[in-house]
Amino acid sequence: MNEKYGKSGAKESTPSKSEYFSWINNTNEGSTEEQTLVNFAYFDYLKRTYGMQLDIYAWDAGNLDGARETYETFDSPKIKAQYPNGYGPVAKAAEKLDTRLGVWGGPDGFGKTKESAEKRLEQMVSHARDYRFALFKFDGVCGRLAPENRP
Say what the pLDDT of residue 4 is: 56
pLDDT at 10 over 80: no
Radius of gyration (Cα) for the chain, nearest Å? Answer: 17
β-sheet bridge partners, residue 136: 103
Q: Which residue has the higher pLDDT, 150 or 94?
A: 94
Say what the pLDDT of residue 1 is: 47
Which segment, 26-30, 132-136, 140-144, is predicted with the most confidence on average? 132-136
Strand runs labelled E in the chain:
19-21, 56-59, 65-66, 70-71, 100-105, 133-138
Q: What 3-state class would DSSP assign to 36? A: helix
For the stretch 90-128, pLDDT in tens is: 999 999 999 999 998 888 888 888 998 899 999 999 999
For the stretch 11-43, pLDDT in tens is: 888 889 999 998 888 877 889 999 999 999 999
Say what the pLDDT of residue 28 is: 78
Cβ 33 vs Cβ 90: under 8 Å: yes
pTM (two decimals)? 0.85
